[in-house]
């Protein structure tokens, strides 16, 4: 968790976002973001849904947010993505598949 806290704090600083602004842009409540940034035993791990929202708001990949890809190396760790996907539980795999399908539709201009 400590690495995630550092990364989230660094990305917020890079964008000049306060907790309140990140909350507004991500749709995550400010007290929740505050808990994600805590450096204590009370620190909370974000859900996959919140990680996606944070990545969108901060303009970074999930890998960068999770500290897997170095800054600026967005998407260069594709094999790592598959390894992470294998470790997800069924519910989160289903969510990732829905997000990927939605992204594909957006890229190709399909609508539901």
Q: Which pLDDT tens digit goes with each residue over 9-41?
A: 999 999 999 999 999 999 999 999 998 888 666
| Residue 55, number of CB atoms within 10 A of its CB | 18
Answer whether residue 55 shows pLDDT above 80.
yes
- DSSP 8-state symbol, 70: P
Nearest to 43 by CA among 52, 34, 30, 51: 34
pLDDT in tens, 67-105: 776 655 555 555 566 667 777 788 888 888 888 777 777
């Amino acid at each position: 968790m400590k690495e995630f806290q550092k990364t989230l704090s660094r990305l917020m600083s890079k964008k000049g976002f306060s907790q309140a602004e990140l909350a507004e842009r991500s749709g995550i409540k400010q007290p929740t973001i505050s808990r994600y940034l805590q450096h204590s035993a009370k620190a909370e791990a974000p859900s996959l849904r919140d990680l996606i929202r944070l990545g969108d708001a901060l303009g970074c990949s999930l890998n960068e947010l999770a500290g897997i890809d170095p800054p600026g190396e967005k998407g260069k760790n594709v094999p790592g993505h598959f390894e992470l996907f294998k470790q997800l539980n069924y519910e989160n795999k289903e969510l990732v598949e829905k997000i990927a399908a939605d992204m594909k539709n957006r890229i190709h201009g399909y609508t539901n």
